[in-house]
């Protein structure tokens, strides 16, 4: 059963339970035993489906418009967040948000790819597909963080960098390549978290980090399953098959050693309880940041180099 179909059935069953509770209250009839059975059946159904999602179903969940955005997490995790704008070269790309804040009293730089909740917001945020000025803005903030010895925390949620003519004219590939180069030698701790989609170089430009994490139902890959199927089989309708071959889930990538940690989500996805999801992220960050901060620059850079050299060996 597709996840969206299952969501509808869950809603229908939840509505029936609510109606039975209301009826029993109005008619003064004790239906508590039946209600408990139905609630137990509901939880059993949720566990059966959400704990055994296929790769394609995880892609579907990762793309849900209801999923928490970077700003949803930033507002819940960090104190005194101040957003900065512009790349000091062309303009301000609204698909990337960034600024400074505090985590348990530690000053940090926060950067995130931002999607919208509706058509108007998505047009403003370019559907979470950054332009070159977005990557240049993120690099400006990263270099600032290095100067003031602030750890960097990135939230990644993008189908990929924008591939329009204007973006190419303004140096999209150069902007991404420069981010990759600069991040590899940046003398401050970096943690990157894939919160939804992690697509291609557009995601990697914010994910050359000391620690790369993924939310439980997020995906991280060289391109979308639709694109993969179109290139390999000339048939985008085989996207579901492609998703199974691509090893793009958090669980696959953790097994391969590509990422360090999987952040647990509430049953049904991070959108079911954003506060809980944010607490899980904050708890993980609170554990790792003090450890990374204690490393001297030489150790930090050497460990980062070895981490990605090892990934290169795996991929070969």
**In contact, 239 and 230? CB cutoff 8 Å:** no
* Alpha-carbon gap, residue 207 to 227, rounded angstroms: 21
- Chunked mean pLDDT (size 10), the chain, 316 residues: 58 66 61 64 65 87 93 96 94 96 96 94 94 96 96 96 93 95 96 95 95 96 91 92 93 94 91 94 96 94 92 65
3-state secondary structure 33-98: HHHHHHHHHHHHHHHHHHCCCCHHHHHHHHCCCCCCCHHHHHHHHCEEEEEECCCCCCCCCCCEEE
How is the chain split among helix, strand and coil, in percent rounded to 5? 55, 15, 30
Q: In this predicted structure, what is the pLDDT of residue 52? A: 77
- 3-state SS of 232-295? HHCCHHHHHHHHHHHCCEHHHHHHCCCCCEEECCCCCCHHHCHHHHHHHHHHHHHHHHHHHHHC
* Residue-level pLDDT at 1: 46
Are 262 and 254 in contact by the 8 Å Cβ rule? The answer is: yes
pLDDT of 47 reads 64
Q: Is 143 helix (H, G, I), strand (E, B) or coil?
A: helix
- d(CA 152, CA 136) in angstroms, rounded, equals 15
Entry field: residues in the chain: 316
CA distance 113 to 131: 11
Please state which CATH number belongs to domain 59-315: 3.90.226.10
Name beta bridge partners: 84: 98
- CA–CA distance, 198 with 67 (Å, rounded to integer): 14
Q: How far apart are the first and last CA of the chain?
A: 36
Sign, CA dihedral 124-129-131-134, equals positive
Contact 206, 219 (CB under 8 A): no
CB 16 within 8 A of CB 38: yes
* Start and end residues for every CATH 3.90.226.10 domain found in the chain: 59-315
- The whole-angstrom separation of Cα 191 and Cα 246 is 24
Tens digit of each residue's pLDDT (9 = 90 or more) over 231-253:
999 998 999 999 999 999 999 99
Q: Are 138 and 87 in contact (CB under 8 A)?
A: no
pTM for the full predicted model: 0.85
Tell me the β-bridge partners of 79. Answer: 102
Residue with tokens 């696959």: 252
Give the torsion sign (CA, 122, 128, 130, 133): positive
């Amino acid at each position: 059963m597709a996840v969206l179909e299952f969501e509808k059935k869950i809603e229908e069953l939840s509505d029936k339970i609510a109606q039975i509770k209301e009826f029993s209250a109005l008619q003064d009839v004790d239906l508590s035993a039946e209600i408990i059975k139905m609630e137990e059946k509901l939880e059993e159904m949720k566990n059966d489906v959400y704990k055994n999602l296929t790769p394609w179903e995880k892609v579907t969940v990762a793309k849900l418009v209801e999923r928490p955005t970077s700003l949803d997490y930033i507002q819940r995790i960090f104190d005194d967040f101040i957003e900065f704008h512009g790349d000091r070269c062309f303009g301000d790309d609204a698909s990337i948000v960034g600024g400074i804040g505090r985590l348990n009293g530690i000053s940090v730089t926060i950067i995130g790819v931002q999607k919208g909740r509706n058509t108007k917001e998505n047009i403003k945020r370019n559907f979470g597909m950054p332009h070159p000025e977005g990557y240049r803005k993120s690099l400006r903030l990263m270099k600032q963080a290095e100067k003031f010895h602030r750890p960097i925390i990135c939230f990644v949620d993008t189908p990929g960098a924008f591939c329009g003519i204007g973006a190419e004219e303004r140096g999209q590939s150069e902007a991404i390549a420069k981010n990759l180069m600069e991040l590899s030698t940046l003398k401050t701790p970096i943690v990157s978290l894939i919160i939804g989609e992690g697509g291609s170089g557009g995601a990697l430009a914010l994910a050359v980090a000391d620690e790369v994490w993924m939310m439980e139902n997020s995906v991280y890959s060289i391109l979308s399953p639709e694109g993969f199927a179109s290139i390999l089989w000339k048939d985008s309708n085989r996207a579901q098959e492609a998703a199974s071959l691509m090893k793009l889930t958090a669980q696959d990538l953790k097994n391969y050693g590509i990422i360090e940690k999987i952040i647990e989500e509430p049953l049904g996805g991070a959108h079911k309880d954003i506060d809980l999801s944010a607490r899980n992220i904050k708890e993980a960050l609170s554990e790792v940041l003090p450890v990374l901060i204690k490393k001297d620059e030489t150790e930090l850079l050497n460990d980062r180099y070895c981490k990605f050299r090892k990934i290169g060996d795996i991929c070969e």
